Amino acid sequence: GTGQAPFREGEAHAITPDGHLVSLQELIEEDPTAVIGPRVAEFARRMFGKPTWPIVSKKFDNKHPIPHHLHWKKWEVYDVNAWDNPGVHLSHHFTTAMGLYPWVTRAMLLDCMKRFGESYNGIRYLSPHVLMRIGYGFKMPNGVLHAPVDLVHHELHVLMDEHFLAEDLTRDGRIPADVAFLACREEDYPAARHGDWEYLVNCIDFEANQQPNFVLDNTCAPLRAPEYCGDGVEATWIVHGKLCGEQQCSILRVQLKPGARHKLPLESPCVMHTNAGRGRVGGLDVEHAQQLDLGALYYERALITPTALADGGLDLENGGDGELVITLDFPQNAHAVTPGA
């Protein structure tokens, strides 16, 4: 909508050497083995019916807390870090609603849902609110009610965004009942049952929403990754372990001191984005930009292809006066051994 470049909202793009933008999906389909590698391409074909990058990797920066909701079939992970949230003190009190209190019954939730659209249905009063810890990761399995905090999230999730909105009023306005079901896929929740609150409440997995150790089991403390460290280089897993019983995705943060050079022995293609500083990643000059203007190009995010890893790993160099910090987002089953498992 800017009129400045042929961007298509919701799509990733690659920039050619002569400055043209092309659809990343079209580039992948042209040569899947070269762009994302045979293993990722084959996984994507099985999962989605075509070669594609199998996760969404995004920064989520909402002005207000978003509506309480759940995903029937979509897991997601969060990385809430200090670089994305400058000036936020470690003792902040920003909370994310998660699940349901153990004393909540189906009858109580049904009474709440039957009030949808009347004034405020009060779904938040039935959910514990958990402090989000700067520098930690968190895993959110599908089927669990949640409402992420209004901090900047670096977020990965499976390649879809189906959801049911369980809250009818936020600072951004009122949510009508018909809108609450708009993003439900037919195979997850039938359209004929929209507004059938008894059916809805019976569909919700109470066991998953009332796990007593939910926060403990899904919090990812930063975990040093010595196999990726070097002289002047520290590497840390932010999201690790299994999610929904599988190695769904993982997040690695790499910090290079001024002048540091390193070859990162990666075994899988990944998405790279910067958190601070400037330097070289593979054959690319990269530089972090704190403020972004819609329609402008910034060299701070890249898909690391198998070609970049062909010579034993990913070459990194800090070319600035301060620390170069990059984050690597790995897709499903990227590692021979699941980090932190």
Average pLDDT of the residues in 317-335: 96
pLDDT at 5 (0 to 100): 56
Coil vs helix vs strand at 113: helix
Answer for the pair 139, 220: CB distance below 8 angstroms, yes or no.
yes
Least reliable range by pLDDT among 43-57, 96-110, 171-185 = 171-185
Please say if the pLDDT value at position 222 is more than 50.
yes
pLDDT at 219 (0 to 100): 96
pLDDT band at 266 (very low <50, low <70, confident <90, very high): very high
User: What residues contact residue 319 under an 8 Å CB cut-off, 6+ apart?
Assistant: 278, 279, 280, 285
Residues listed for the chain:
341
Please say if the pLDDT value at position 318 is more than 60.
yes
Please say if the pLDDT value at position 234 is more than 50.
yes
pLDDT at 4 (0 to 100): 55
Please say if the pLDDT value at position 172 is more than 80.
no
Least reliable range by pLDDT among 116-120, 126-130, 162-166 = 116-120
The CB-side HSE value for 10 (13 A sphere, CA atoms) comes to 3
Task: Provide the CA 215 distance to its chain's centre, in angstroms.
Answer: 18
Please say if the pLDDT value at position 217 is more than 50.
yes
Please say if the pLDDT value at position 325 is more than 60.
yes
pLDDT band at 170 (very low <50, low <70, confident <90, very high): confident
Please say if the pLDDT value at position 9 is more than 70.
no
Please say if the pLDDT value at position 1 is more than 50.
no
Q: In whole numbers, what is the pLDDT of the chain averaged over residues?
A: 92
pLDDT at 8 (0 to 100): 67
Average pLDDT of the residues in 220-241: 97
pTM assigned to the model: 0.93
Please say if the pLDDT value at position 155 is more than 80.
yes
